[in-house]
Amino acid sequence: MMLGGVTRFMLKGWVADLYVKPAFYFTYYGFEWVKPLGETGMHTLFFLMGFAALMMSLGFLYRFSAIAFFLSFTYVELIDKSNYLNHYYFVSIIAFLMILLPAGNYFSIDTLIRPAKKATHVPRWCILIIQFQLGIVYFFAGISKLNPDWLLRAQPLRTWLPPHTNLPVIGYFMDKLWIAYFFSWFGAVYDLCIPFMLCFKKTRKLAYFLVLVFHILTAMLFQIGMFPYVMIVCTLIFFPEAFHLKIIGRIKKLVQHVSKK
């Protein structure tokens, strides 16, 4: 997901627009020393960031790649306050945690090179710490919605939704006042409840269906980058081990099938 995000950033020319062309940058307190690296330097940094993300996904030199991705991504994030998005902060936290987790010890190039490194079990805390961080993202997003503007005035959704009347199927409803109120209340209840629903087997499938609906809608309606897709993928960590092993098994079969051709 991060490789896709970095590639998209570079192809759209945002590296130059946001980190080369501006004459002034709003620095963070204590990080005034974090400066843009010039046009060549910034494009090189983004290339290295994307390469590190690719190496992490393949599990090649995993620990080194995780450190490289965390440092490069966080450096870019700290250059300018005006480019801040809360999910950039979330990615930095997850990237830091990934340095500490043994995510490269299974289904990775590292374990093909060094089979002795392959792990058959993952400490429970490794799963819980990611689940906990995801829960924080959702729950505090819900708390932030518990205010009169959001719940009683349906703001800012009653302002944000009407411009989307051109969307297929759902566009007809976007300028209806009741839709703004429905989305406002649904969003608050969803954010407050979804972490707990994902934790329990009986509600997990319904919860993930709601995750899909919620984030696909937000991706359609709001320009918030890769965040909806990141959350769709990340929340799969709430599913049990057998679910993930099944996916890995299918990927292995697909790779074997392709390699035989």
Q: What is the overall mean pLDDT for the chain? A: 91
Question: Looking at the structure, do residues 138 and 228 belong to the same domain, yes or no?
Answer: yes
Question: Looking at the structure, do residues 145 and 30 belong to the same domain, yes or no?
Answer: no
Q: Residue 252's pLDDT is what?
A: 78
Segments forming the whole domain that contains residue 153: 130-261
Percent over 90 (pLDDT), the chain: 70
Q: Residue 190's pLDDT is what?
A: 97
Q: How confident is the model at residue 201 (pLDDT cuts 50, 70, 90)?
A: very high
The phi, psi pair for 14, rounded to 5°, reads -75, -20
Res. 21: pLDDT tops 70: yes
Question: Looking at the structure, do residues 72 and 142 belong to the same domain, yes or no?
Answer: no
Question: Looking at the structure, do residues 139 and 260 belong to the same domain, yes or no?
Answer: yes
Res. 117: pLDDT tops 90: no
Q: Residue 105's pLDDT is what?
A: 85
Q: How confident is the model at residue 261 (pLDDT cuts 50, 70, 90)?
A: low
- For 151, other C-beta atoms within 10 Å of its C-beta total 14
Contact 157, 183 (CB under 8 A): yes
Contact 178, 208 (CB under 8 A): no
Q: Residue 110's pLDDT is what?
A: 84
Q: Residue 22's pLDDT is what?
A: 93
Per-residue pLDDT, averaged over 22-29, amounts to 92
Give me the residue label for tokens 């005035």. Answer: 153
Cis check: omega of the bond before 148, within 30 degrees of 0 = no
Amino acid at 40: T
Of residues 133 and 167, the one with the higher pLDDT is 133
Output the six-digit token pair for 10.
């570079």
What does the DSSP assignment read for 14-56? HHHHHHTS-S---PPTT-TT----HHHHHHHHHHHHHHHHHHH
Domain ends where: 122, 142, 160?
122
Question: Looking at the structure, do residues 200 and 221 belong to the same domain, yes or no?
Answer: yes
Contact 119, 102 (CB under 8 A): yes
Question: Looking at the structure, do residues 117 and 156 belong to the same domain, yes or no?
Answer: no
State how many domains the chain has. 2
pLDDT digits (tens, 9 = 90+) for 222-253: 878 788 999 999 999 999 988 888 888 888 78
Contact 63, 79 (CB under 8 A): no
Q: Residue 104's pLDDT is what?
A: 86
Instruction: Please tell me whether residue 200 adopts helix, strand or coil conformation.
Output: coil
Domain ends where: 122, 152, 181?
122
Contact 42, 19 (CB under 8 A): yes
Question: Looking at the structure, do residues 14 and 113 belong to the same domain, yes or no?
Answer: yes
